Amino acid sequence: MAERQKKLEIINIHKSFEKGTINENYVLKGVELTLYEGDFVTVIGGNGAGKSTMMNTIAGNYIPDEGNIRINHEDVTYMPTNKRASLIGYVFQDTRMGTASRLSIEENMALANQRGRTRGLRKGVRDEDRAMMKERLEVLGLGLENRLTTEVQFLSGGQRQALTLLMATLQTPQVLLLDEHTAALDPSTSEMVLSLTDKLVREENLTAMMITHNMSDALKYGNRLVMLHQGRIILDVAGEEKENLTITDLMQLFKQRSGEELTNDAMLLG
Ligand SMILES: Nc1ncnc2c1ncn2[C@@H]1O[C@H](COP(=O)(O)OP(=O)(O)OP(=O)(O)O)[C@@H](O)[C@H]1O
């Protein structure tokens, strides 16, 4: 079997905030993680473990104090966020973050289609793009393909997040980052967006990382699960080993590896 391509390498990342001050907060303490093409990794860990900081460092919003980030073999540690945007799809918890409210569905999609291009951005939509947009929107099964000129502000949170997800994957990203992207949705809408995520990741063979507080979602989705605790990865399981895990196993593993109990308010047990 051909060797799987490395898509994302997080190499010995250290990150502190307010370094050298009385408020110094040493958050990431040598994080090491390699994602291979097609990996769908769920990331769990208690509040303040450093999950979002890790993701923001991958995206270039934070520069690490030490260590390197490689995407598709390219060192991007010091590459500006806007340059990295062509490599990364990012979906946030806040359903308003990934789309422009006052622009229509088709205008938003046209912008997403030009992602990573810093020159000559147009919000205008070409006829030939509309057919592609309709086709992609149909996959969502939400009827958005018939509402191309509707302003995004009139969509529900779930519709908007589904659109954001589609936009983040329109120009196939090297890495898709999902930071609790369904946490603000009601349970059934969350499930819809998660199964859509799963479908897109599989069909496009995307490499994805998804932070979640919901342990059953962390077990249900993806081929790999990572547990972060106090800025370090304390568990990394994949394949069959992950498939066979239960929530009870996860809680026991957390206790074993961290020496602490996993509290209900830090994690949703599902
Ligand atoms: N921009 C920042 N400036 C200062 N401190 C920060 C900043 N961003 C994060 N932190 C601190 O870093 C620590 C880790 O935060 P982070 O958001 O990465 O954790 P998390 O694992 O995603 O937690 P949660 O599950 O609660 O979202 C926290 O103590 C947080 O206060």
Indicate if ligand 1 lies below 6 Å from the C-beta of 50. Answer: yes
Structural tokens at position 246: 């239960």
ipTM given for this complex = 0.97
* CA of 191 relative to ligand 1 center, distance in Å: 26
* CA of 50 relative to ligand 1 center, distance in Å: 6
Indicate if ligand 1 lies below 6 Å from the C-beta of 224. Answer: no
What's the rounded Cα separation, in Å, for the pair 178 and 117?
Answer: 22
Q: Residue 268's pLDDT is what?
A: 66
Handedness of CA 152, 222, 234, 264 (dihedral sign): positive
* CA of 122 relative to ligand 1 center, distance in Å: 35
- Ligand 1, atom 9, lies closest to the CA of 53
The number of the ligand 1 atom at minimal distance from the alpha carbon of 53 is 18
The number of the ligand 1 atom at minimal distance from the alpha carbon of 45 is 21
Q: For the domain 6-95+163-268, what is the CATH superfamily, name and number? A: P-loop containing nucleotide triphosphate hydrolases (3.40.50.300)
25 forms bridges with which residues in the sheet?
17
15 forms bridges with which residues in the sheet?
28
Structural tokens at position 218: 């962390």
The tens-digit pLDDT sequence of the chain (270 residues) is: 567 899 999 999 999 999 889 999 999 999 999 999 999 999 999 889 999 999 999 999 999 999 999 999 999 999 998 888 889 999 998 888 889 999 999 999 998 988 766 555 565 778 888 999 999 999 888 999 999 999 999 999 999 999 999 999 998 999 999 999 999 898 988 999 999 999 999 999 999 999 999 999 999 999 999 999 999 999 999 999 999 999 999 999 988 988 887 766 567 665
- Ligand 1, atom 7, lies closest to the CA of 17
Indicate if ligand 1 lies below 6 Å from the C-beta of 17. Answer: yes
Indicate if ligand 1 lies below 6 Å from the C-beta of 47. Answer: yes
What's the rounded Cα separation, in Å, for the pair 112 and 115?
Answer: 5
Alpha helix positions (H), 85-182? 105-113, 127-140, 157-168
Handedness of CA 246, 248, 250, 253 (dihedral sign): negative
Q: What are phi and psi of 27, to 5 degrees?
A: -100, -50
Indicate if ligand 1 lies below 6 Å from the C-beta of 27. Answer: yes
